């Protein structure tokens, strides 16, 4: 990280505005990995259900597991990936419901909803869920009320739009491609519209139903800049958005750092590895200390990162001010290597 880390008291914002956003989803491949025996005394059996694989959700998964490793706890992991299919997520949840697992970790909103519907006698800890109240997972942020709680990836949308204006001050229109099937994506778009109204920007929307429609959606836009929400389908096919931005000199602003590493211009957002670790620490308190999910407030990350990608900016026709680069926490190409968009396409093809 570079210079000072941006801090946003998201929980206060939640209480004040009752926001609702989407969660980026995805995890590792659908396979089992063992790390111990499901016994008492610091050894547990935990199921992980993830809606789809992309870097942000994968980092959340890894962060969750790292919390247990750091705590010296043995875990037998059962990791399952729904590959973007809600029906598969429901089947995974049903399998976990009939198991003798000690706890379930659900990554992203669709898998969390499936788990909450199927599993009532085991604790569930989610991560990468933007608004658990709007998603119907908890009764309130402060008092979830049932067997589920977790860590939210509530997004600083206004700050991201202010960053967009700083990078592209002449932009008047901002395009957003999002999945009509994700309630939290719709919430993020509402927040984006509020931010745009306040900043004097116009929003153009393109809705999709799955990742294969992202290219068509982005090509339907006629805008000066693009903002990518934490939408699972869109982030899974981010390379289509990046390619469009490069070909048309339209800067793409992301909602999380991994998308900047992949080729977006910048973001002011959270670290999904830290988010997953925070969810893991909550799970440990449930298993080791006997805390009740029903009374464990949903948590958010307070530390946010400004991530910039000067090379991606140049490819999209904008030049980042040196002052912005100097105050960034992460500069792609200096603090972390950029990812090759072509590699992302190849990985997506292999997954399909």
Per-10-residue mean pLDDT of the chain, 352 residues long, equals: 40 38 39 40 89 93 98 97 95 98 96 97 96 94 98 94 97 96 85 97 96 96 97 94 98 96 95 96 98 97 93 97 97 87 44 38
Among residues 64, 69, 96, which one has the least CA distance to residue 80? 96
Report pLDDT for 154.
Answer: 87
Among residues 156, 150, 157, which one has the least CA distance to residue 299? 150
Report pLDDT for 303.
Answer: 86
Q: Which long-range contacts (CB under 8 A, 24 or more apart) does 193-198 make?
A: 194/157, 194/158, 195/157, 195/158, 195/160, 195/161, 195/162, 196/161, 198/158
Single pTM value for the model: 0.79
Whole-angstrom distance, CA of residue 326 vs CA of residue 331: 9
Question: What is the sign of the dihedral through the CA atoms of 131, 132, 134 and 139?
Answer: negative
- Angle of helix 272-289 versus helix 55-70 axis, rounded to 10: 40
Backbone angles phi, psi at 334, to 5 degrees: -120, -60
Burial of 170 (0-12, 13-18, 19+ CB in 10 A): exposed
Question: How far is the CA of 75 from the CAs of 43, 44, 51, 258, 287, in angstroms?
Answer: 6, 5, 22, 27, 12
Q: Which residues of 274-304 are buried (b: 16+ CB within 10 A; e: fewer)?
A: bbbbbbbbbbbebbeeebebeebebbbbeeb
Question: How far is the CA of 333 from the CAs of 238, 322, 340, in angstroms?
Answer: 19, 14, 12
Question: What is the sign of the dihedral through the CA atoms of 315, 320, 326 and 328?
Answer: negative
| Both tokens assigned to 91 | 């089947």
Greatest Cα pair distance in the chain? 61
Whole-angstrom distance, CA of residue 133 vs CA of residue 135: 5
Report pLDDT for 14.
Answer: 39
Report pLDDT for 155.
Answer: 87
Report pLDDT for 340.
Answer: 59
Backbone angles phi, psi at 44, to 5 degrees: -135, 160
| Residues 115 and 123 sit within 8 Å (Cβ to Cβ) | no
Backbone angles phi, psi at 168, to 5 degrees: -130, 75
Report pLDDT for 26.
Answer: 39
């Amino acid at each position: 990280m570079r210079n000072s880390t941006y801090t946003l008291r998201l929980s206060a914002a939640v209480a004040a505005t009752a926001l609702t956003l989407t969660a980026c989803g995805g995890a590792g491949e659908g396979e089992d990995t063992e790390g111990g025996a499901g016994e008492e005394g610091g050894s547990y059996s935990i199921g992980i259900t993830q809606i789809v694989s992309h870097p942000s959700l994968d980092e959340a998964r890894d962060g969750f597991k790292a919390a247990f490793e750091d705590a010296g706890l043995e875990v037998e992991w059962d990791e399952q990936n729904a590959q973007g299919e809600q029906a598969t997520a429901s089947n995974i949840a049903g399998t976990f419901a009939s198991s003798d697992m000690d706890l379930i970790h659900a990554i992203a909103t669709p898998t969390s909803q499936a788990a909450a519907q199927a599993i009532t006698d085991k604790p569930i800890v989610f991560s990468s869920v933007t608004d658990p109240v709007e998603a119907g997972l908890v009764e309130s942020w402060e008092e979830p009320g049932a067997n589920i709680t977790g860590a939210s990836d509530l997004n600083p949308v206004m700050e991201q739009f202010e960053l967009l204006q700083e990078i592209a001050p002449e932009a008047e229109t901002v395009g957003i491609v999002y999945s009509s099937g994700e309630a939290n994506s719709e919430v993020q778009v509402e927040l984006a519209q509020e931010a745009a109204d306040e900043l004097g920007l116009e929003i153009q929307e393109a809705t999709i139903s799955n990742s294969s429609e992202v290219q068509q959606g982005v090509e339907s836009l006629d805008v000066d800049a693009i903002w990518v929400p934490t939408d699972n389908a869109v982030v899974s096919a981010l390379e289509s958005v990046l390619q469009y931005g490069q070909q048309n000199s339209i800067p793409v602003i992301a909602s999380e750092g991994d998308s900047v590493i992949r080729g977006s211009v910048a973001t002011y957002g959270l670290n999904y590895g830290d988010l997953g670790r925070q969810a893991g620490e909550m799970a440990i308190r449930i298993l080791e200390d006997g805390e009740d999910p029903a009374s464990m407030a949903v948590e958010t990350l307070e530390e946010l990162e400004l991530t910039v990608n000067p090379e991606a900016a140049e490819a999209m026709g904008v030049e980042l001010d040196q002052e912005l680069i100097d105050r960034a926490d992460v500069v792609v190409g200096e603090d972390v290597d950029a990812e090759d968009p072509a590699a992302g396409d190849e990985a997506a093809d292999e997954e399909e």
